[in-house]
């Protein structure tokens, strides 16, 4: 049965249901359909530009490729609706229910989604540039390759959302929840991430250049693995509950957010921490470093022709990505090697209290023990070309 525009508007005005109807390609632009019941109706390719559908019910409706530019869909129920490829730029969707809706490839540029619910929504490759998403709930939403540049998503909830390879440049995300969100390879240049809850989020290969992260909660966060340029972060929170009770502000923030497989905050609880981390991407040559008792240095960068002096009680960890080439380590500290160590002039390692070589390590060195014999531990599978000697009297 075919309905004309006037018949549809008249039925909506009378409160008569319009559900399960074939309305493909219909022109309802600018029509007043507030509160209309259109669940499961087929509106594929319909012209709904500027339509007034506030409070409407369009559950599981087919709106593929529909034209909804400037439409008023505030508080509408679009749960499970198919909006793939729909044109929604400038649409008003504040408070709307879009849970489990399909919006893949949809154009939502400058749309107002304040307080909208988009749990489990499919938004792959969607355009949300400059959209209003303040306090929107986007738990478990799929946003891979989506464009979210310049969005205002302050206090929005992205818990468990997938944002891999999404663009969030200059996005306003202050106070947003990103718990367990996957932001692998996301572009976050100049984004405002102040006070975000990013506990257990994944930022592998993400670009945080120029981002602001003051007050971010980062327990369990997986770092970028790449250097971060021009980061602004006066302090970050290391408390397990994300309550701001354990502030970190001692210059380690950049290292915590880059290059580490998972942030372990137990060592960073005060500004007097003697922990030092050299992350991925750094290359250091011809340096001499000395570390006092209680110091911990962890290296995932490349050191060439460097000398490291360890006092008793100091600890050196060469991470899985760390490479020490033509280097020398001396002193009665503890050494753990997970990466690669190649000595220059022997002995490459002198008088350590303890030397642990993991299964992932490769070591070419002469080790000279001190007055107290060194404790050794070698995991199965490690690569060794090692000569162990005693110190000459």
pLDDT digits (tens, 9 = 90+) for 35-49: 999 999 999 999 999
Buried b (16+ CB within 10 A) or exposed e, 45-61: bbbbbbbbbbbbbbbbb
3-state secondary structure of 96: coil
107 pLDDT more than 60: yes
Give the CA distances from residue 339 to residues 231, 364, 365, in Å, rounded to whole numbers and listed in that order: 28, 12, 14
DSSP conformational letter for 367: E
Using DSSP bridges, classify how beta strands 236-237 and 247-248 pair: parallel, antiparallel or unpaired: antiparallel
In a domain? residue 29: no
Mean pLDDT, the chain, as a whole number? 91
Q: Where are the alpha helices (DSSP H) in the chain?
A: 5-13, 253-256
For a pLDDT cut of 90, what percent of the chain falls above it? Answer: 78
- Quickly state the pLDDT bin for 392 (edges 50, 70, 90): low
- How confident is the model over 161-208, as pLDDT tens digits? 999 999 999 999 999 999 999 999 999 999 999 999 999 999 999 999
Residue the block writes with tokens 């409407």: 56
Buried b (16+ CB within 10 A) or exposed e, 210-231: bbbbbbbbbbbbbbbbbbbeeb
Residue 223 has a pLDDT of 86
Distance CA 152, CA 134 (A): 6
- How confident is the model over 260-277, as pLDDT tens digits? 444 455 454 444 457 787
In a domain? residue 358: yes
- Beta-carbon contacts of 119 under 8 Å, excluding residues fewer than 6 positions away, are 99, 100, 137, 138, 139, 140, 141
Q: DSSP strand E in 8-96: where?
A: none
In a domain? residue 339: yes
Count of domains forming the chain: 1
In a domain? residue 372: yes
3-state secondary structure of 253: helix
138 pLDDT more than 60: yes
In 3D, which of 32, 3, 6 has the Cα closest to residue 20? 3
In 3D, which of 85, 118, 124, 122 has the Cα closest to residue 102? 122
Domain that holds residue 343: 276-390
- Quickly state the pLDDT bin for 316 (edges 50, 70, 90): very high
- How confident is the model over 35-91, as pLDDT tens digits? 999 999 999 999 999 999 999 999 999 999 999 999 999 999 999 999 999 999 999
Phi-psi region of 110 (alpha: psi -120 to 50; beta: other; left: phi over 0): left
In a domain? residue 300: yes
In a domain? residue 211: no
- Which of 189-203, 273-287, 302-316 has the weakest average pLDDT? 273-287
In a domain? residue 77: no
Buried b (16+ CB within 10 A) or exposed e, 139-155: bbbbbbbbbbbbbbbbb
- How confident is the model over 198-249, as pLDDT tens digits? 999 999 999 999 999 999 999 888 888 877 888 899 899 988 888 888 888 7
Per-residue pLDDT averaged across 329-336, rounded? 96
In a domain? residue 322: yes
What is the end-to-end Cα distance of the chain in Å, rounded?
A: 103
3-state secondary structure of 161: coil
């Amino acid at each position: 049965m075919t309905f004309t525009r006037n018949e549809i508007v008249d039925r909506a005005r009378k409160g008569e249901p319009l559900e399960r109807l074939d309305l493909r390609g219909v022109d309802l632009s600018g029509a007043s359909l507030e509160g209309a019941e259109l669940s499961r109706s087929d509106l594929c390719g319909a012209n709904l530009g500027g339509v007034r559908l506030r409070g409407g019910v369009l559950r599981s409706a087919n709106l593929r490729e529909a034209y909804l530019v400037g439409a008023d869909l505030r508080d509408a129920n679009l749960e499970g609706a198919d909006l793939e490829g729909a044109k929604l730029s400038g649409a008003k969707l504040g408070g709307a229910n879009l849970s489990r809706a399909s919006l893949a490839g949809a154009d939502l540029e400058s749309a107002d989604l304040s307080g909208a619910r988009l749990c489990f929504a499919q938004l792959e490759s969607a355009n949300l540039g400059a959209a209003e998403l303040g306090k929107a709930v986007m738990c478990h939403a799929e946003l891979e390759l989506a464009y979210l540049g310049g969005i205002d998503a302050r206090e929005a909830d992205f818990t468990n959302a997938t944002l891999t390879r999404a663009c969030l440049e200059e996005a306003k995300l202050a106070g947003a929840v990103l718990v367990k969100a996957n932001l692998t390879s996301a572009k976050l240049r100049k984004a405002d991430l102040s006070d975000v809850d990013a506990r257990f989020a994944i930022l592998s290969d993400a670009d945080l250049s120029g981002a602001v992260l003051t007050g971010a909660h980062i327990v369990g966060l997986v770092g970028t693995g790449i250097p971060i340029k021009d980061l602004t972060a006066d302090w970050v929170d290391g408390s397990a509950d994300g309550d701001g009770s354990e502030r970190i502000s001692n210059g380690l923030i950049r290292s915590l957010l880059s290059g580490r497989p998972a942030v372990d905050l137990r060592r960073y609880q005060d500004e007097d921490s003697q922990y030092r981390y050299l992350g991925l991407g750094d290359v250091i040559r011809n340096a001499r470093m000395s570390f006092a008792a209680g110091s911990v240095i962890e290296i995932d960068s490349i050191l060439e022709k460097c000398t490291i002096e360890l006092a008793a009680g100091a600890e050196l960890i060469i991470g899985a990505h760390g490479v020490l080439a033509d280097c020398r380590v001396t002193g009665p500290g503890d050494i753990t090697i997970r990466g690669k160590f190649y000595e220059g002039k022997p002995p490459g390692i002198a008088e350590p209290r303890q030397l642990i070589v993991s299964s992932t390590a490769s070591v070419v060195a002469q080790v000279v023990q001190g007055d107290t014999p060194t404790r050794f531990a070698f995991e199965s599978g490690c690569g060794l070309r090692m000569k162990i000697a005693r110190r000459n009297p």
